Amino acid sequence: MADAIFSNIRIERRVKQVVEKIIEKQSVVIHQLSASEAEQRSYYRLLHNPRLQTSQIISYLQADCARQVEVGAHYLVFQDTTQPNFERNRRNISDQQQLGVIGDKQSLGFFLHPSLVVQADTGRCLGYSHVQVWSREAMALDRKQRQYQKQPIEEKESYRWIQAAQASKQVLAKASALTIICDREGDISELFLQVPDNQTHLLVRSNADRLLVNGAGKLSTLLTSLPEGGRYQLQLAGETRRGRVARQAVVALRWAKVGLVMKGVGKALYVVEAKEIDAPAGQAPIYWRLLTTHVVQTQQQAHQLIYWYSLRWNIEQVFR
């Protein structure tokens, strides 16, 4: 697998060792991965080796993911973006060529957009079907200056959601089905118009209150008019960063087939709403409005999609 990726066998072996240690230790901190000072130095030498390129590491991860794909299986592909911040270490970084500024437009760092693959029926993690890395120039034009709304999707950073989905389709080609799962940032019309096919589904948390076709109003108005389709209990993990306590949430479900206006055309999808009932005092109730290409006609189907979306915590854990 790796022979055609790395320039020599020693780099290949060391990369494989580091990846295995990361999985074993559940950490990316070098001194936590190392059993000795000598091993720690060897890892740093690897990371500073000019013959080791970021693109090679990504290719290695994709090949390792593809190797594990089972013919006929269904996989969930979780996309998300993070911004590693190196501002505190700016003075210690001599080569900043591949770094830029992150979202605050001043801190040193870069952007990372991975696609984490999990087998739908077993929860087994295969690794990454795609990883995209980029940086922004400090003096780059802002959205208003570059007339963001008029730019083609291929020139926007948001195109990463489509690129990641298309790349994942290639890596996971032996699978019978893929479900690409994104948070609200991935609610992009072009994603729905370009990615789905007979093998590939989307499950995306709705961000925009989209218009319904034929002048039938907005999506939120339709959901308000729907009767409750059932309730079930969802185990929520605690999140210190968001102030969310772990709890067993009672969630009310609604769902419907909808026609939504996307880039001037109608797109047939299903919407599933999950709304927490009687959230604890001081806790924001869970509210997920999900758009999907999966057929949703029963409470069981709606419940399944909510459960799959709840597994996004897997990729959020990667960023901690």
The whole model's pTM is what?
0.90
103: CB partners within 8 A, 6+ apart: 83
Two tokens at 194?
């370009």
Is the model's pLDDT at 102 over the cut of 80? yes
Mean pLDDT of the chain, nearest integer: 91
- Going through the chain in order, the beta strands assigned E by DSSP cover 74-79, 100-101, 108-109, 111-119, 125-134, 177-182, 200-205, 230-236, 247-262, 265-277, 287-292
Q: What is the pLDDT of residue 320?
A: 64
- What pLDDT is stored for residue 96 in this prediction? 79
What are the pLDDT digits (tens) for 4-26?
788 788 999 999 999 888 878 77
152 vs 112, 198, 204, 263, CA distance in Å? 22, 26, 21, 12
- At 93, the pLDDT band (50, 70, 90 cuts) reads confident
Look at 162 and 141; give whichever has higher pLDDT. Answer: 162
Q: Which residue has the higher pLDDT, 291 or 214?
A: 291
**What pLDDT, in 10s, does the model give residues 226-247?**
999 999 888 887 777 777 888 8
In this structure, of 16-30, 85-99, 137-151, the range with the lowest mean pLDDT score is: 137-151
Q: If pLDDT is split at 50, 70 and 90, which confidence band does 319 have?
A: low
The answer for residues whose C-beta is within 8 angstroms of residue 20's C-beta and 6 or more apart is: none
Q: Which residue has the higher pLDDT, 68 or 318?
A: 68
The answer to whether the beta carbons of residues 175 and 73 sit under 8 Å apart is yes
Other beta carbons less than 10 A from residue 242's beta carbon: 7
Per-residue model confidence (pLDDT) at position 89: 87
Q: CA angle at residue 209 from 203 to 211, to 5 degrees?
A: 100
Terminal Cα distance for the chain, rounded: 29
Q: CA torsion sign, 134 to 136 to 140 to 143?
A: positive
Dihedral sign of CA atoms 266, 267, 268, 272 in order: negative
Mean pLDDT of 183-200: 97
- What are the C-alpha distances in Å from 181 to residues 54, 184, 294, 314? 25, 10, 12, 12
Q: How far apart are CA 239 and CA 284, in angstroms?
A: 12
pLDDT, one tens digit per residue, over 55-79 is 999 999 999 999 999 999 999 999 9
Residue 151: predicted pLDDT = 87
pLDDT at 3 over 70: no
